[in-house]
A = this chain, B = another copy of it.
């Protein structure tokens, strides 16, 4: 069953949503799981909670049955036991629902007897009745433009990244991590067992979606491998695609079967596919965020020569190793560049060969800007990495929050003026108070528009893959 872009547009813009199986029992952790976020996002359409017990939840009337809802129901979020799925599906086809999202697990992924049969049954009813299914066993749709979200803390503003994620937990975790690093999303779909709408349908939609500039995919198993490969090829020709394949080891493949009930594929196969189709392959959600941040906020560097500017001799040594291990080059500055740096930097305790290891930028952060300007001017440098080591920087910088706000902006202007992209590494800190400082400093650089990373190794890896992608 092949889908075209226009087929799925309706998924992201429902006029009304029925939440079936919602409970008003506030001791249940699932009580508000979907209703809460929709209310917090001020979803503009109608919301109809449904539970046989009736009553009221968060000021909304609870309908005892979906068929008693007075208005048109476009979209259903079902949190009912799997065995009640077929009955609900019949009701949905009867009242002309367009899409049903089953949050419920207990279908083909489950050890529960009859799970696979139930999944086949609801799929069959959906197809016969002209209703589309999302899931089962997933979190569904996040589309900030439509005020549609499955988590209250997700950003309310839209962005350029579409994320297609078979796992609910991994969709939440990635959006949370990405949001803190400045990523914003056009659409996120957690699609679970993919009984009806699958990864290829959604990918095909994202290829044509004008709001989506970058596509991220977390995929576990695939039912129609050839179609997915064809669709990935099409996608990679028009937009950058970052792919994380879960379940690439023998036991990982089995874990996939227990999670979304689908088949996997070997690590080598996926490596070959990614190389051939020019997909950017990553191996963890953290690395996915690193790549998306790079694709979103870093102009393509013209080469691999990096200048490292930071504080801490030992940190500089390890930063250099991390860059060169990831195929970036840390060329030694000429005497001319070094002399320019010595004009405003004391010689004791500082080293300016590249890396620039400067205590000065701890005690007088505007020297960070001066240093960045000076080294950007050297023609051999293609990009810069600014390294903020939590141990040293944060206690002094955090007392001067206005100062680092100004610094972040000045540095970004300077980076733009020199056309040398700059990455910022903010070590996340260890104890809560340090972590909080680090987070706030990170946010200043994120707000200014920098790609921000948590270690030089992660930055260098992502930048190196980005350069490879750009010059492929």
Closest B residue by C-beta to A166? B314
Distance from A367 Cβ to chain B, minimum over Cβ atoms (Å): 14
Distance from A192 Cβ to chain B, minimum over Cβ atoms (Å): 9
A130 interface residue (CB < 8 Å to B): no
Q: Are B391 and A314 in contact (CB under 8 A)?
A: no
A377 interface residue (CB < 8 Å to B): no
**A169-B312, A169-B392 given; A320·B176 CB < 8 A:** no
A342 interface residue (CB < 8 Å to B): yes
A299 interface residue (CB < 8 Å to B): no
Distance from A288 Cβ to chain B, minimum over Cβ atoms (Å): 11
Interface string of A208-227 (1 = CB under 8 A from B): 00000000001010000000
Distance from A109 Cβ to chain B, minimum over Cβ atoms (Å): 7
Cα–Cα, bound, A215→B312 (Å): 23
Count of chain copies: 2
Cα–Cα, bound, A353→B332 (Å): 54
**A112-B347, A348-B106 given; A255·B430 CB < 8 A:** no
Q: Which one of A246, A320, A355, A392 has the greatest number of beta carbons of chain B within 10 Å?
A: A320
Q: Are A432 and B430 in contact (CB under 8 A)?
A: no
Find A246's partner among B248, B286, B318, B338 (CB 8 Å cutoff): B318
Closest B residue by C-beta to A285? B318
A122 interface residue (CB < 8 Å to B): no
Q: Are B247 and A313 in contact (CB under 8 A)?
A: no
Q: Are A315 and B170 in contact (CB under 8 A)?
A: yes
Query: Which residues of B lie under 8 Å from residue A147 when comparing CB positions?
Result: none
**A111-B342, A355-B255 given; A247·B347 CB < 8 A:** no
A256 interface residue (CB < 8 Å to B): yes
Closest B residue by C-beta to A153? B431
Number of interface residues of A (CB under 8 A): 90
Q: Are A249 and B324 in contact (CB under 8 A)?
A: yes
Find A428's partner among B82, B390, B428 (CB 8 Å cutoff): B428
Q: Which one of A255, A338, A391 has the greatest number of beta carbons of chain B within 10 Å?
A: A255
**A249-B324, A320-B252, A320-B255 given; A172·B391 CB < 8 A:** yes
Query: Which residues of B lie under 8 Å from residue A447 when comparing CB positions?
Result: none
| Given A176-B431, A250-B324, A435-B436: 4 more A-B contacts, CB < 8 Å | A110-B349, A220-B317, A284-B322, A428-B435
A residues whose Cβ falls under 8 Å from a Cβ of B: 29, 81-82, 104-106, 109-112, 137, 153, 165-173, 176-177, 180, 218, 220, 246-252, 254-260, 283-286, 311-325, 329-332, 338, 342, 347-349, 351-355, 357, 362-363, 389-392, 396, 428, 430-432, 435-436, 439, 455, 457
19 residue pairs bridging A and B, Cβ less than 8 Å apart: A29-B362, A29-B363, A82-B348, A105-B349, A109-B351, A110-B349, A153-B431, A165-B314, A169-B312, A170-B318, A180-B430, A246-B314, A249-B320, A251-B323, A255-B357, A256-B317, A258-B353, A259-B314, A259-B316
